[in-house]
Structure 1
Amino acid sequence: MKKLFSKALVVSSVLLLLISCKKEEPVTATIDINQIKKEIQAKENEFADTYNTGVVKEIGYFADGAITFPQNNQPVIGKEAIIEYLKSHVDSISKGRKISFTTTEVFPSKDGEQVVEIGYYKVLDSTNTVVNSGNYMTLFVKKDGKYYSLRDMSTSDLPN
């Protein structure tokens, strides 16, 4: 009887140990890609609307440590430097021209805290003729429930 009790105690101890060591799977957030795409497109629309006014200001688009890689230029590092760069180049867009951005794809991280956006842009003159167009890629990070651009770059469809 003692042997049977000892075996039962050993078996139940081993089972208890195995059960307690079971690795719990992390809870993954449900990602709504369509909602994220809408949020990112809204950020792009806000950016275009502000830029098209010809008055570049703090628009809540860039993260503090953002870097942008503008066409035919060196990288611009930091939110304030990017805003100053945009201010110095706003005349190339705003005088009778309008820029627009279209988000074509988003690739969110599993937790939705980072999103890579792929899209295209176009610049129209006052007669709605396309004077420039191209593609871009932006890495967004989420802070306080909102997405901010951390890295972005674009390329023109026009020949050099």
Structure 2
Amino acid sequence: MKKALVAGILTYITACNSVKQESEAGVVDKEQIKKEIQAKEDEFAATYNTGELKNIGYYADDATSFFQNRAPLVGKESIIEFLRSDLASNSNKISFKTNEVFVSSDGKQIVEVGYFKVVDSSNATINSGNYMSLFEKRDDKYLCIRDMSISENPVE
């Protein structure tokens, strides 16, 4: 009886410890991920604002971007080509603010909700609005696989 009781207690302790380890391994740091996503947005804006679009590891090769008043841009090259043509016709500057992140329980997917602002060369706001981006962790880095934005400016 004593052996059975000791064996039962040991089994219970072992089971509790393995459950605890599994739950600790599954914990994601939402605030750290939010900082990481904001850093990606800051790097994207800084690169865009220099006028030289280089591969900064923001978009996945199979990304799709939904810009306003146009068909979806499919693939990283399509998105970059659109951004380059946009830069050729203006000297606007953009900034992004990550407001919220919704993180999957395993930390492999993140939906970001944020705010963007575009200013002209005199620093006057010419556009602002909100966006949502879906990031997926690939090769230990978050890459944007889908994004869309909406302007706060009234439709003319």
Alignment partner, residue 125 of structure 1 = 120
What one-letter code is carried by the residue in structure 1 that aligns with 2:61?
A: D
1:119–1:135 CA contact under 8 A, matched in 2: yes
Offset, 1:59: 1.8
Comparing 71-80 and 102-111, the one that deviates more: 71-80
Aligned to 2:61: 64
Which 4+ residue blocks in structure 1 deviate beyond 3 angstroms?
A: none
Aligned to 2:70: 73
**Is the CA contact (8 Å cut-off) linking 1:133 and 1:156 kept in structure 2?**
yes
Alignment of 1:91-110 (within 5 A): 91-92=88-89, 94-95=90-91, 97-110=92-105
The structure number with the bigger radius of gyration is 1
Is 1:52–2:49 an aligned residue pair? yes
RMSD, matched Cα: 1.9
* SS of 1:36 mapped into structure 2: helix
Q: Which runs of 5+ in 2 are unaligned?
A: 1-10
Alignment of 1:128-147 (within 5 A): 128-147=123-142
Deviation of 1:113 after TM superposition, in Å, equals 0.2
CA distance, structure 1, for counterparts of residue 51 and residue 101 of structure 2: 28
> What is the CA-CA distance between 1:90 and the residue it aligns to?
1.6
Equivalent position SS for 2:43: helix
Q: Distance in 1 between matches of 2:86 and 2:124?
A: 21
Deviation string, structure 1 residues 82-131 (Cα, Å, up to 9, x no partner): 11111111235x51x21000000000000000000000000112332211
Amino acid paired to 1:63: A
| 1:58 Cα deviation from its structure 2 partner | 1.6
Show structure 1 runs of 5+ residues with no match. Answer: 1-18
CA distance in 2, matches of 1:140, 1:31: 15
Q: Which residue in the other structure is 2:81 paired with?
A: 84
Write the distance in 1 (CA, Å) between the matches of 2:140 and 2:103.
14
Residue of structure 1 equivalent to 2:7: none
Give the letter for the 2:29 counterpart: D
**What SS does the aligned partner of 2:142 have?**
strand
Answer whether contact 1:58 1:83 (CA < 8 A) is retained. no
DSSP 3-state at the match of 2:69: coil
SS at match of 2:144: strand
Residue 32 (1) aligns with residue 29 (2): yes
Give deviations 1:9-50, integer Å, cap 9, x for gaps: xxxxxxxxxx9xx9x969341111110000000000011001
- Tell me which amino acid in the other structure corresponds to 1:82: I
Output the CA distance in 2 between the equivalents of 1:124 and 1:136. 17
